[in-house]
Amino acid sequence: MTAARRIAIGFGVALLLVSIIGITSLASVTSLSRTTEAVRRSTDMVMSLSELERHMTELESAARTFVITGDIAYEAPFNFATAGTEKVLDDLIENASGDEAQTAIALELRRLARSKNRVSSELMDIRRLQGMEAAAAFVRLGTGKAVMDTIRMRTAEMKQHAVTLQAAERAEAAINARRTELITGGGAALAFLLLTIAGITVAREFAVRRRAETAMRESQAQLSQFLDSLPIGAFVIDAHGRPSFANTTALTMLGAGTIDDLDIVTPGMTIPLWRDGQNTAVDAADDPMRAALRGLAARREGLELRTGETHIPIEISAAPVFDSNGNVAYAIAAFSDITERVRARQALQDATRAAEDSNRAKSDFLARMSHELRTPLNSVIGFANILLKNKGGRLGEQEISYLQRVLDNGKHLLLLINDILDLSKVEAGKVQVEWETVALQPLLQDIVHQLETQARNGVRLAVEMKTGLVPITSDSARLRQILINLVGNALKFTEAGSVVVSVDTVPGTRRPSIIRVSDTGIGIPAERLGSIFEAFEQADRSTARQYGGTGLGLPISRALCELLGYTLTVSSDVGVGTQFCIDLLADVNKARTEETNETADA
């Protein structure tokens, strides 16, 4: 149970007890006053009854003395006693009200008293008018005595009843007082106990809260210290765009001493952001902080932080901070000075541009030179051919062998120049791609057919592919050039076994994905696999001597593949064979990956 709940229950129960004590006390006081009133009444009744007895006795004795003496002086006490009787009976009836039995007796007593009065008055009249004898005869009838006896009996009865009632009421009052004492005392003690427990709990809760507040203050101070030591600016604004936190780096970059200065530094703006190198401030749609206030995370580069004369290129990321109802409560931004990065990027761009320029100049030069070299070389080859025919028969065997060398070297040189020209053209971006629909099956068959004669004895050259493949969009001349080079190499370096050109398809479709040229030739050492694609590089000098070649075929093939959007890779085992793969979907897959990444970023 939580402390707050315990405290609430403690106070609630205490309150309930105090209410019960109050109600009980009130009830008890009411009952006490009621009992006191009842006791007073019964006391009054007892007194009235005694008074009645006295008056009746006085009335009887006044009447009796008058009969005996005939002295009219006794009429006055008689009348006085009669009046007193009436007055006492009125009081008695009033005090008996509410008690039916007592009221009935009181009324009967009045009737009896009046009757006694009448009888006594009649007796006194008889004495006055007829004399003593007649009066004595009337007394002997006993009417007056009978009435008087009944009055005495009823009075005694009523007195007894009043006394009993008084005792019962006194006893009840005593019980009431005791009960009130118990409830008030016990309740007060329990309430005191509960209030003490609640008080202790409140005090403890306060202590816990004070400790938590101290810990929170300490951790906040530590957090501020951490944030202040960050080399990036951290800046927080509330939902109304008012600055609410900025670490030291942010304040320095924003040119402010304290967070309160920021309103003055950036009037009307969350952060003074400007477009890189332009004289326009970033508008609301482009401001990452305002995007964060709309609940969107945003990251921007190519912006400048401007305060006065200072322009700092920055990279900024902003994100919303939501409250428990899902509304944006704050927007937080982290920004860093990317001056060095911008400078390095610029330097890199300059260097790349310079390198591209010089590469283009080199390729231009080579293309031009190759062209200039080919003309005289063709003439050398042509004339060597003519001379070799030895039409006049004037050339000896040695001259013919020299001429043959001139012709071979000339052809090799021409091959080299053609390759250099090709590579230069590709590198100089002078090769135009002629996109068309290309069916792979006939193209590959044709290439195999063309190169069959180069296969050594016992080497199988074949195309292995599914039928009915979907045609691809490519440049058939360039693709042919690449494949002729790869298959030509495979045949050149394979003494026995096979050279196979095969086509993989996208799983579950007939769409070509990879063209493989596999052989069972001499293989390429692992450490040379990386360099064979560089110009004039061969796997090893001895094979170059043995098999010939310029070392330009693979660089040209790879450059052409890149031009067509393919990638060319190799895997090989020395003595086992080599496999070259042209990935036809490299560009498609790359574009798809980039698209996926962009979507993921967004």
Residues that bind ligand ADP (CB under 6 A): 485, 489-490, 493, 519, 521-524, 532, 538-539, 543-544, 549-554, 578
Residue 102 or 489: which CB sits closer to ligand ADP? 489
Q: Tell me how far, at minimum, the Cβ of 404 lies from ligand ADP, in Å.
A: 22
Residue 128 or 516: which CB sits closer to ligand ADP? 516
Quick one: CA torsion of 423, 425, 426, 429, rounded to 10 degrees? 150
Q: Tell me how far, at minimum, the Cβ of 490 lies from ligand ADP, in Å.
A: 4
Residue 546 or 593: which CB sits closer to ligand ADP? 546
Three-class secondary structure of residue 515 per DSSP: strand
Residue 46 or 448: which CB sits closer to ligand ADP? 448
Place of tokens 């929170």: 216
Q: Tell me how far, at minimum, the Cβ of 418 lies from ligand ADP, in Å.
A: 12
Nearest to 433 by CA among 425, 442, 443: 425
Q: Tell me how far, at minimum, the Cβ of 419 lies from ligand ADP, in Å.
A: 8
Residue 218 or 573: which CB sits closer to ligand ADP? 573
Q: Which residues pair with 235 in a beta bridge?
A: 246, 333
What Cα–Cα distance (Å) separates residue 315 from each residue in 189, 232, 255, 276, 590?
71, 10, 17, 11, 27
CA distance 422 to 18: 107
Quick one: CA torsion of 312, 317, 318, 319, rounded to 10 degrees? -170
Determine the Cα angle at 456 with ends 452 and 457, to 5°.
105
- The number of CA neighbours under 13 Å toward the Cβ of 120 is 27
CA distance 238 to 561: 55
φ/ψ of residue 413, rounded to 5? -65, -40
Q: Tell me how far, at minimum, the Cβ of 292 lies from ligand ADP, in Å.
A: 55
Residue 108 or 537: which CB sits closer to ligand ADP? 537
- Token digits of residue 524: 């390429």
Secondary structure (DSSP) of 178-202: HHHHHHHHHHHHHHHHHHHHHHHHH
Q: Tell me how far, at minimum, the Cβ of 549 lies from ligand ADP, in Å.
A: 3
Amino acid at 363: S
Strands 328-337 and 310-322, bridge-based pairing: antiparallel
Residue 337 or 583: which CB sits closer to ligand ADP? 583
Q: Tell me how far, at minimum, the Cβ of 422 lies from ligand ADP, in Å.
A: 12
Residue 356 or 452: which CB sits closer to ligand ADP? 452
Q: Tell me how far, at minimum, the Cβ of 371 lies from ligand ADP, in Å.
A: 21
Residue 13 or 535: which CB sits closer to ligand ADP? 535
Sign of the torsion angle spanned by Cα atoms 88, 91, 97, 99: negative
Q: Tell me how far, at minimum, the Cβ of 562 lies from ligand ADP, in Å.
A: 15
